[in-house]
Structure 1
Amino acid sequence: MTQKLNNTVLSSLPARIGRPRYDRAQLTAGILHIGVGNFHRAHQAVYLDNLFQLGEGLDWAIVGAGLKPYDEVMRARLADQDWLTTIVELEPEGLNARICGAMIDFVEVDPAVLIARLTDPAIRIVSLTITEGGYFVDPNTGGFDAGHPEILADLHDPANPRTVFGILVAALLKRRDIGLAPFTVMSCDNLPENGHVTEQAVVGFAEALSAETSAWIKGNVAFPSGMVDCITPATGDRERSLVTETFDLEDAAPVVCEPFRQWVLEDKFPSGRPPLEKVGVEFVEDVAPYELMKLRILNGGHAAIAYPAALLGHYFVHDAMNDPLIRNYLRKLEEEEVIPTVPPIQGVSFQSYLETVMTRFSNPAVGDTIPRLCFDGSNRQPKFILPTIQERLDKEQSVDGLALETALWCRYCLGEDETGHQIELQDGNSVLLKNWAVSVFKQGEEPFEMPDLFGPLGKDARFLGAFAEAVSQIAAIGVADTLQNYIEGGSGNARPERRIPAG
């Protein structure tokens, strides 16, 4: 019989569903988290739940918060089930379910109520998952966008802020004025140097108020960076039905995710922190090497398989990984050109990390899609691929495989696969990219213009030569044979330059 998730059913759940072994009534708040989405509940909340299962850190339970209409929807769903969440881990061999009880409250979606809760002495960490676009980064300078209309509105009325950063500054100042130590601000968003980006936003807002406010925050508030990782698809009717039909449990907001999760954190918590090292969190002095490892090996790996897989007609990532051409191309590219650019990390085997990444990509239960990996290439390539190319060129090293990845992206931007089926480019620069692809593959223009997003690489003769060679092969013999040639080729052997054939 299907049971509705709440505290009263925990003791009667089937044995195959994990549940809190601790007394939730003994939990007290320590962390306020803004942005209670799927990733937070599959990642940070699970680590804390694991800690509570050990009977430790019970004063670090989560209080949820948010400022958007969808946060109000989430709050209502979770309130009706005592803030519990069903976590379904998508193991290749089958589904595992557990009930996560790490959250004990969720603040009303009201800035004034949120500021009041942030002055609670028990709240020592404020964590964030507000998406990469929520940090008000100026696209031209990379700094804080103090001229954004939402920020300007808060600066005009700082006593009644409505943005996350206006609220954080207001709460920090209230704590200072009543003699409370500041909380630590910890981003859990999946972006490089997330601690620096968060500090930039908080300090940038404070600086727009006054130099004194900015100086106090700089001197007193910690912003640790962290590398987070766990593939977590969106929840819809399919996922809710899966929980009901598989586990006889009615959950209005379940989470499905892969069984893998990783969290590497800078150990900068002056107001204290839970002992998460006991449940697998890695605390380090500098998280940047771990971020670079993930950025180049995992995110770069996603980019590498995306475009050849799409051109060869694959839809699911696990199907692409079952194609020897895609799998062997990825392995050769990673081992010969990508991994050598990642600085060594003591105690970390990049080869083992790569094997884990490939296993994760191959998990059919996750159901990750090639169109998702292809999305927004003009934003992803400059982050995940182009810096690796530049570093290898700076060291006078071959970029044959990486140039091939770029050429495959260009071929994808033509908007059709190898069989002529249309591909819709999901990219803010789709017109620019389509024109670029046409000039390279259809019109045979030489010299061809590379888009501005390539920066100095767009005029580097060594890169352009390798790119032109890859384009020439794709145009002449197709994607599959080009991949096979690369796989069978020697490591780092430069091929003779070829002109792009005229259309």
Structure 2
Amino acid sequence: MQQHTEALVTRLNQQSLAQLPSHVDVPNYDRSSLKAGIVHIGVGGFHRAHQAFYINELLKKPGYERWGICGVGLLEDNRRLRDTLKKQDHLYTLTVRHPNGKIDNKVIGSMIDFLFAPDEKQAVINKLAHRDTHIVSLTITEGGYNFNPATGEFDYSNPDIIHDINNPTDPITAFGYITAALKLRKEQGLDAFTVQSCDNIQHNGNVTRKMLLAFAVEQDKALSEWIEANVTFPNAMVDRITPVSKKSDIDYVIDTYGVSDEWPITCESFAQWVIEDAFCCGRPDWDIVGAQFVLDVTPYETMKIRLLNAGHSVLGLLGSLHGYSTIDETISDPIFAEYLRAFMDKEVTPNLEQLEGIDLKLYKDTLIERFANLNIKDNLSRICSESAAKLPKFLIPTINENLLQGRDVSLATLVIAAWCFYSDKGTDEQGNKLDVIDAMQSELHEAAAKTAINELAFLSLTSVFGSLNEQSEFATYYKNDVEALYAPARKIKALMKNVLEPRGN
């Protein structure tokens, strides 16, 4: 990589677009004519590679000028992003890396403004309440929805939620801002806007509706009734692998574009967005740029979560114990590839519906290809992070359904046993320390550390595992797996090979 002197490199902005190489796809529309029909809360890498990308493609067609995006950052961590985007006229680069090595270089222009809520609370409320705003969309991560993972109910004990309920004009949380804006729209006689979750949460629209109404009823019962009657919350399934931006991404943009982008985004070429067509205040025609509108998103969500997200966890936990660091490195090992495919074919597929327009075999083939993309380098530490929130949705339902139907669960069981060792020891099989990231890290470690005296101790976390420890077939497999994992000479690949052979033969 050649070295660059920052002072000599032109910054990416509206003016510098004209000097970009011809192979870079730049906005060919008049950004000055755009209105922010969408206000998006939580401008992370995924949003910029997914929803903002779809809008960028739509804006290339005439007649969609009202669907620009105004970003909103709620957290202090968003201050640097605000400053970066402002310097770049809210432009950023998107490097789309195909599995075959091809690279598409794009500049995304769909974001036209960004508000940093801690410094301009009323401006954010006013923007949300503005008559031009038709959709308020969210990527606030699972934690931003403020539900108890064990019960699925709204968590009223959160200090920020307590503050927002008691201080409607001084919000901190997404729910506080959205409710304040809807109150203004109601008072001004404006239509309600659609609240659209773009987070990787099953039934994300239903979850958003339930949580917002739980919040609003405590603050203003009449307003909550108006929201219930007027606001829609479409469910959606979203998919595009988007690793965390790295310095090498910044260097790549300088070398390839000839300009400096302080916060570029890299993503895979695959993108999918299946959306329930339930919008109360108009919507963009996302379907003409590759999205899919359906009556019921549920089976699409189930397919994606049980195959892609669970598949990520299978590779992440097993690969981490072996000593691998990225998804592509892990899936390139034939044993891991065979194990993942067996898991998808034998334990997941029997529980899935056949969906119109979806070739399930091709979908699984594509997943393997996506995971093997050498250009993405998705870190296993990211994949394994917050497993306590992920696995009860991604993996454990498949185990429970197979147990109910009398089907095999041995492939998934080894993954749970590997998670126990991962949470307990926090090292790979060479003794190297793993970067364990989880809000429940202390509880997971405490339970897993008791495995030596009680092989089922890890499963005692019923908020995560439910009644799995009472399922005799699962418990038998699990005990054998943890015993093998905790053996001094254990090797994860040998255990995987053993599981791939039918047990009991």
Distance of aligned partners of 1:67 and 1:288 in 2 relative to their CA distance in 1, 3 Å threshold: same
Instruction: Give the counterpart letter for 2:468 in structure 1.
Output: L
**CA offsets, 1:116-140, max 9 Å, x none?**
1222211111111122111221345
1:57 corresponds to: 64
2:127 corresponds to: 117
**CA offsets, 1:201-251, max 9 Å, x none?**
221121002332211110110111111111222234332222112321111
Distance of aligned partners of 1:450 and 1:187 in 2 relative to their CA distance in 1, 3 Å threshold: closer
Instruction: Give the counterpart letter for 1:356 in structure 2.
Output: T
Report 1:340-351 matches (<5 A): 340-351=350-361
Distance of aligned partners of 1:321 and 1:224 in 2 relative to their CA distance in 1, 3 Å threshold: same
1:3 corresponds to: 10
2:47/2:139 contact within 8 Å kept: yes
* Structure 1 SS opposite 2:273: strand
Report 1:322-333 matches (<5 A): 322-333=332-343
2:456/2:469 contact within 8 Å kept: no
1:85 corresponds to: 92
* Structure 2 SS opposite 1:398: coil
Distance of aligned partners of 1:172 and 1:375 in 2 relative to their CA distance in 1, 3 Å threshold: closer
CA–CA distance in 1 between the matches of 2:182 and 2:116? 19
1:24 corresponds to: 31
1:146/1:208 contact within 8 Å kept: no
1:339 corresponds to: 349
Aligned pair 1:468/2:475, yes or no?
A: no
Report 1:267-286 matches (<5 A): 267-286=277-296
Instruction: Give the counterpart letter for 1:23 in structure 2.
Output: D
CA–CA distance in 2 between the matches of 1:350 and 1:223? 28
1:298 corresponds to: 308
Distance of aligned partners of 1:160 and 1:320 in 2 relative to their CA distance in 1, 3 Å threshold: closer
**CA offsets, 1:426-484, max 9 Å, x none?**
344445545655654x55x5676732232211111111122234445554864222322
* Structure 2 SS opposite 1:304: helix
1:226/1:287 contact within 8 Å kept: yes
Distance of aligned partners of 1:311 and 1:66 in 2 relative to their CA distance in 1, 3 Å threshold: closer
Report 1:146-157 matches (<5 A): 146-157=156-167
Instruction: Give the counterpart letter for 1:162 in structure 2.
Output: I
Higher mean C-alpha deviation, range 1-10 or range 166-175: 1-10
* Structure 2 SS opposite 1:283: strand
Distance of aligned partners of 1:60 and 1:178 in 2 relative to their CA distance in 1, 3 Å threshold: same
CA–CA distance in 2 between the matches of 1:154 and 1:422? 40
Report 1:27-42 matches (<5 A): 27-42=34-49
2:103 corresponds to: 95
1:75, distance to aligned residue in structure 2 (A): 2.2
1:500 corresponds to: none
Report 1:287-436 matches (<5 A): 287-412=297-422, 413-423=424-434, 425-430=436-441, 433-434=444-445
Higher mean C-alpha deviation, range 270-279 or range 113-122: 113-122
CA–CA distance in 1 between the matches of 2:366 and 2:267? 16
**CA offsets, 1:286-309, max 9 Å, x none?**
111111111110111111122322
Higher mean C-alpha deviation, range 467-476 or range 337-346: 467-476
2:53 corresponds to: 46
1:499 corresponds to: none
Higher mean C-alpha deviation, range 164-173 or range 260-269: 164-173
Alignment RMSD: 2.3
* Structure 2 SS opposite 1:379: helix
Identical pairs, percent: 37
1:206 corresponds to: 216
* Structure 1 SS opposite 2:143: helix
Aligned pair 1:178/2:188, yes or no?
A: yes
Runs (5+) with no aligned partner, structure 2 = 1-7
CA–CA distance in 2 between the matches of 1:155 and 1:473? 51
1:128/1:187 contact within 8 Å kept: yes
CA–CA distance in 2 between the matches of 1:139 and 1:383? 10
CA–CA distance in 1 between the matches of 2:426 and 2:43? 36
1:85, distance to aligned residue in structure 2 (A): 1.2
Distance of aligned partners of 1:439 and 1:367 in 2 relative to their CA distance in 1, 3 Å threshold: same
1:45, distance to aligned residue in structure 2 (A): 0.7
2:3 corresponds to: none
1:67/1:111 contact within 8 Å kept: no
* Structure 2 SS opposite 1:371: helix
TM-score normalized by structure 1? 0.91
1:224/1:267 contact within 8 Å kept: yes
1:129/1:189 contact within 8 Å kept: yes
Higher mean C-alpha deviation, range 58-67 or range 368-377: 368-377
Aligned pair 1:480/2:490, yes or no?
A: no
Distance of aligned partners of 1:437 and 1:166 in 2 relative to their CA distance in 1, 3 Å threshold: closer
2:114 corresponds to: 106
Distance of aligned partners of 1:397 and 1:97 in 2 relative to their CA distance in 1, 3 Å threshold: same
Higher mean C-alpha deviation, range 274-283 or range 244-253: 244-253
Which of 261, 270, 278 aligns to 1:251? It is 261
CA–CA distance in 2 between the matches of 1:205 and 1:342? 34
